[in-house]
């Protein structure tokens, strides 16, 4: 069927609509106006073109309005506080389809269904959840579903708010936010926005929230307690050393030594650092990183920080997630699950945060 405009099959010619029908005209016919009919047809053609242009402008304006409404809706959905926390104390982990069950349980599904809301409030589980969030931020965030990614950010917001209110565990949360921000920068810029579910503007807004949380944590000021009772400095040196031996992170010892010169001298005790080295690292690892002072003594403090840069620390948590190898149920330690085994404790395995993630790698 002929169409308005230049015909690609015959350069310099076009089709115009007349009372007698469609006719092919050349450029010379347009500019010479050889007949009144052609002039009338050209004016009719211009009217048709203007009508087409007006329709196109209307469609463009409608598309712009729809895009603006979509951006506003995305922003509203991102800021809406909907009930996103589940309170299931245990879940069944199925890794394949059977006659009774179809599909399999993913990391995002487990992250959504388990009761992480109560785990944040529990001091025994807090460090476990923070470490799990850090591992997900490093490599597993793109594997989560859209709901799980949103749930991840909402749980992180509650974790930050708890730290701001309690003024405790500031350093691990700073490290978590920094790890997440670096991962998001790589996902948004290098790999592309397709690996993250949702509008890219939402993720840019979430990255801005992370920067705001980091600023709030940097500005936090720990108030000195008003109690006039006995403090750590008032205790005998032997008791102070016993308390320091309960610390499992060398950075905590360094921070404690900056309180006053007396505590600083105690934190330089070689036995403290020797205990830390043997607690976190194996004998083989220690032998590879031996450091001897000029007096012939082992520099345990320097060895500890050198080993920390080469090997991961030993992880120990007050409460962890457990997995029953008999009934394939994932649950918290103090939560009973409907196990059908004769001796349920023999089938239970404690999961570290890394083991929890590896459980869903098929």
Distances in Å between the alpha carbon of 229 and those of 23, 166, 218? Answer: 104, 21, 30
Collect all residues with Cβ–Cβ distance below 8 Å to 254 and sequence separation of at least 6.
267
Q: What is the pLDDT of residue 95?
A: 65
Collect all residues with Cβ–Cβ distance below 8 Å to 2 and sequence separation of at least 6.
15, 22, 24
The whole-number average pLDDT for the span 280-307 is: 88
| Structure tokens that stand for 29 in this block | 């016919």
Average the pLDDT over each of 7-11, 244-248, 280-284 and give the range with the smallest value: 7-11
The whole-angstrom separation of Cα 107 and Cα 361 is 8
DSSP code, position 321: E
pLDDT, tens digit, 9 for 90 and up, residues 122-161: 888 899 999 999 999 988 888 888 888 888 999 999 999 9
pLDDT at 267 over 80: yes
pLDDT, tens digit, 9 for 90 and up, residues 336-347: 677 755 666 778
Q: What is the pLDDT of residue 192?
A: 54
107 touches 144 (CB < 8 A): yes
Q: What is the pLDDT of residue 135?
A: 92
Count CB neighbours of 216 within 10 A. Answer: 13
Phi, psi of 5 (to 5 degrees): 105, -175
Mean pLDDT over the full length of the chain: 77
pLDDT at 303 over 80: yes
pLDDT at 7 over 60: no
Q: What is the pLDDT of residue 48?
A: 56
pTM, whole model, 2 decimals?
Answer: 0.67
Label residue 190 by pLDDT band (50, 70, 90).
low
The whole-angstrom separation of Cα 54 and Cα 60 is 10
Label residue 9 by pLDDT band (50, 70, 90).
low
Label residue 47 by pLDDT band (50, 70, 90).
low
């Amino acid at each position: 069927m002929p169409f308005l405009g230049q015909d690609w099959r015959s350069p310099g010619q076009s089709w115009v609509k007349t009372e007698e029908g469609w006719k092919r005209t050349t450029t010379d016919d347009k500019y010479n106006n050889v007949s009144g009919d052609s002039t009338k047809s050209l004016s009719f053609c211009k009217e048709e073109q203007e009508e087409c242009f007006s329709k196109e402008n209307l469609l463009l304006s409608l598309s712009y309005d729809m895009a603006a409404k979509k951006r506003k809706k995305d922003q509203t959905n991102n800021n809406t506080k909907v009930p996103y926390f589940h309170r299931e104390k245990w879940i069944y982990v199925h890794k394949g389809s059977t006659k009774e069950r179809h599909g399999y349980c993913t990391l995002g599904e487990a992250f959504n269904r388990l009761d992480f809301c109560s785990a944040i409030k529990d001091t025994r589980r807090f460090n476990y959840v923070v470490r799990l969030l850090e591992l997900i931020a490093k490599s597993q965030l793109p594997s989560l579903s859209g709901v799980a990614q949103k749930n991840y950010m909402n749980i992180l917001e509650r974790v930050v708010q708890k730290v701001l209110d309690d003024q405790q565990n500031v350093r691990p949360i700073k490290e978590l936010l920094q790890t997440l921000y670096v991962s998001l920068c790589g996902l948004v810029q290098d790999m592309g926005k397709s690996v993250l579910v949702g509008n890219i503007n939402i993720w840019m807004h979430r990255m801005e929230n992370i920067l705001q949380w980091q600023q709030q944590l940097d500005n936090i000021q720990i108030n000195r307690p008003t109690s006039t009772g006995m403090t750590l400095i008032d205790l005998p040196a032997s008791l102070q050393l016993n308390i320091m031996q309960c610390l499992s992170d060398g950075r905590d010892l360094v921070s404690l030594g900056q309180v006053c010169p007396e505590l600083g001298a105690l934190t330089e005790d070689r036995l403290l650092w020797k205990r830390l080295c043997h607690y976190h690292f194996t004998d083989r690892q220690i032998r590879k990183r031996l450091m001897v002072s000029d007096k012939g003594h082992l520099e345990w403090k320097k060895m500890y920080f050198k080993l920390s840069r080469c090997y991961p620390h030993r992880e120990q948590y007050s409460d962890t997630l457990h997995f029953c190898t008999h009934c394939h149920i994932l649950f918290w330690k103090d939560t009973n699950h409907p196990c059908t085994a004769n001796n349920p404790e023999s089938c239970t395995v404690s999961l570290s945060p890394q083991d929890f993630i590896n459980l869903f790698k098929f």
